[in-house]
Amino acid sequence: MSWSGAEVSALAAKAARGAGAPAGQAALFGQAAALHLQQGRGAGALAEALETLPEGPIMDLPLVLQEALPVARSGGEIDVVWAGDVALAWSYLETMPYRCDVELERPGGLKVRFSPRSDARPRAQRISGCEELLHKMATLAAKTLVPDSAASRSGGAGAGLTDND
């Protein structure tokens, strides 16, 4: 079975929220997670990131992006200091709307060159071979769902009238 990038992104974002990440960081993790898997960078870093909440890369990598943003906008190189999984950091950097080439990958960080991106985002690749991670994400995502109730059902589309009209 293969998955679309959009559904993995949505699932990863919900999983991060379910694991305790604030909404903004969770959404960013969702984007990065899909890119990460599409690039074949391995599911382990994503699972670990979810496990280490409320600390770890899901909380820290958004701050790395904050630091990189001015350079990314103007184009140029930056040394990204990052002691964690550099592949995951790379995936986060690629969520920005700029072309991002990693010139040097090393323990403790990356040297990155930013340049303007062409018009469109690259075509998303299908995601497969990470069922265990996706199952884990689904379990965490379920923690964000509110149990069904009569009161909640009464407001949805189609509620309150016959549909055989």
Partner 1 sequence: MKDHVAPHQAPLRPPAQVMRLSRMGSMFPTRLSFLRTLMRFLAAEKAQVSRPVWQMCPEGYGHAVYALSFGGHTYSLVAVSTALAPEDRTDRVIAEAWDSSYVLYDGVPDADEIARMCATAPRQEAARFTERDLVLSRANKSVRLFQHVVERLRAGQQPDRQMVGEIGYLMRTTAVYGNGKFGIADRSCIDTRPGLSGPFMAEMLTVWLIRQFTHDLVEHVGQGRLDRDLKRHLGIGNSTGLGMAPFLVTHPVLLNNWMLARETALARVRAVRHLEPERAVRLVALADRARRHLAEWCVPDAAHQARIDRLRADWVRFAGGITAKALAEEGALERLIRASGTQSEDLQELLVALALEPFPELVDGLADCMADPVGPVAAPLADTAQLRDEIACHFGWALAPDYADAAQCRQFWYVSEAKQEPRLGDRFAEEGAALESPLDIGRRIKALFLDLPERSEDVRAFLARSPEHFLAVARVALAAGYPYAEIRDNLIGAGCLPIDMLRCKLAFFGASKFDPKSDRWTRITLCQGAPLADELDRRADDWWLPVFDA
Interacting residue ranges for partner 1, rule: CB under 8 A? 1-7, 22-25, 27, 59, 62-63, 66-67, 69-70, 73, 95-97, 117, 119-124, 126, 142-149, 151-153, 155-161, 163-165
Coil, strand or helix at 77: strand
Here the contacts of 141-149 (C-beta below 8 Å, separation 24 or greater) are 141/11, 141/14, 141/15, 141/17, 141/18, 142/18, 143/18, 143/19, 144/14, 144/17, 144/18
Report, in Å, the least distance between residue 129 CB and partner 1: 15
DSSP code of residue 54: T
In terms of CB distance, is 107 or 160 closer to partner 1?
Answer: 160
In terms of CB distance, is 107 or 118 closer to partner 1?
Answer: 118
What is the C-alpha to C-alpha distance for residues 63 and 25, in angstroms, rounded to an integer?
10
Report, in Å, the least distance between residue 8 CB and partner 1: 8
Report, in Å, the least distance between residue 29 CB and partner 1: 11
Report, in Å, the least distance between residue 95 CB and partner 1: 8
